[in-house]
Amino acid sequence: MAGRTEWIAVDWGTSNLRAWGIDAGGSITFAASSDKGMGRLEPSAFPAALTEVLTGHVERDGDPLDVLISGMAGARQGWREAPYLETPANLARLAAASVRPEIKGSRLSPRILPGICQREPGAEDVMRGEETQLLGVSALIKGFSGIVVMPGTHSKWVELDGRMVRRFATAMTGEIFEVLGTHSVLRHSVSGADDDGDRNEGFESGLNAGLARPEMLVSELFRIRPRALLSGVDPAWCSGFLSGLLIGAEIGGLRRWTSGGEIPLVGGKKLCSLYARGFAKLGISTRMVDATDATLAGLKAAREL
């Protein structure tokens, strides 16, 4: 049974704000969320958004309360910029590198953790939020060294060695799926998709094509349209194919990063299971790490280090 709230863990993304109360033993005392993500807020609106989401969960008055925040709140266009750590980056330094915006007259004492950037010419990249999940992975899987894959709108591939982030890459797979399915000629083939059986068949076919020929992506993508016209495959099949093709091309293109070891997949269960199918075809085993579990484990570890 959870005790008194000792500190607050916050994941402040572009679209959402999520907060958890944590007691002295590390148990969750409450969970709260709102849609006041960084994308909707002016810098001056962050204090009120944080206060609002905590209303009813913590007393207005009392001793100073530590609030540890990861994610886009620390972006340049966020609450207060938390300058990036650079690769190779030691995740044990996250809390030490945090910034401390003040909320006047409040007991809330926020700290925003930094993201990580990679400045190597031709391999420039950035992350905000994932670094905290990676620290969580290092806490949840003791002694892990290898590749971590974080499927999503912008998938991250990360070479993690204990708490050191050696290098990483981002694939905009999820966003390409969304944008092509909504705004390109392919929208005619994928709209109204609703049959899960056909979707699964299409996914399998696309996954095989993407893994086998990631270099042919721009031509394999178009093929969805004539296939729908000529072979009569339905929108669910096409939507599955588009998803499988993009995920297959991501994994096929970045496979040189893998070295045979088990890959932690950090993200939502459904999406991670699609990636697991792709890796399985290369003979690579995976294990799922729930994204929220990783975030919470990372915030706890950051506070203790």
Question: Helix, strand, coil % (nearest 5) of the chain?
Answer: 45, 25, 30
Terminal Cα-to-Cα distance of the chain (whole angstroms): 25
Distance between CA atoms of 157 and 267, rounded to whole angstroms? 12
Give the residue, chosen from 250, 276, 289, 296, that forms a contact with a copy of itself under the rule CB under 8 A.
Answer: 250
Q: Does 122 bind a copy of itself (CB under 8 A)?
A: yes
Give the residue, chosen from 42, 104, 143, 219, that forms a contact with a copy of itself under the rule CB under 8 A.
Answer: 219
Q: Does 221 bind a copy of itself (CB under 8 A)?
A: yes
Q: Write the DSSP string, 210-270.
A: HHH-GGGHHHHHHTHHHHHHHH---HHHHHHHHHHHHHHHHHHHHGGG--SS-EEEEE-HH
3-class SS string, 61-128: CCCCEEEEEEEHHHCCCCCCCCCCEECCEEHHHCCCCCECCCCCCCCEEEEECCCEEECCCCCCEEEC
Q: Which stretch binds a copy of itself (CB under 8 A): 4-12, 55-63, 94-102, 113-121?
A: 113-121
| Contact track, a copy of itself, 148-187, x by CB under 8 A | ------x--x-----------xxxxx-xx--xx-xxxx--
If the CB atoms of residues 107 and 213 are measured against a copy of itself, the closer one turns out to be 213
Q: Which stretch binds a copy of itself (CB under 8 A): 21-29, 35-43, 218-226, 266-274?
A: 218-226
Q: Which stretch binds a copy of itself (CB under 8 A): 42-50, 66-74, 117-125, 264-272?
A: 117-125
Give the residue, chosen from 44, 55, 230, 283, that forms a contact with a copy of itself under the rule CB under 8 A.
Answer: 230
**The two structure tokens encoding residue 222:** 């178009």
Q: Does 227 bind a copy of itself (CB under 8 A)?
A: yes
**The two structure tokens encoding residue 20:** 């958890």
If the CB atoms of residues 69 and 245 are measured against a copy of itself, the closer one turns out to be 245
Asked whether 244 and 205 are in contact (CB, 8 A), the reply is yes
Site of interaction with a copy of itself (CB under 8 A): 117-119, 121-126, 154, 157, 169-173, 175-176, 179-180, 182-185, 209, 213-219, 221-223, 225-227, 229-231, 246, 249-250, 252-254
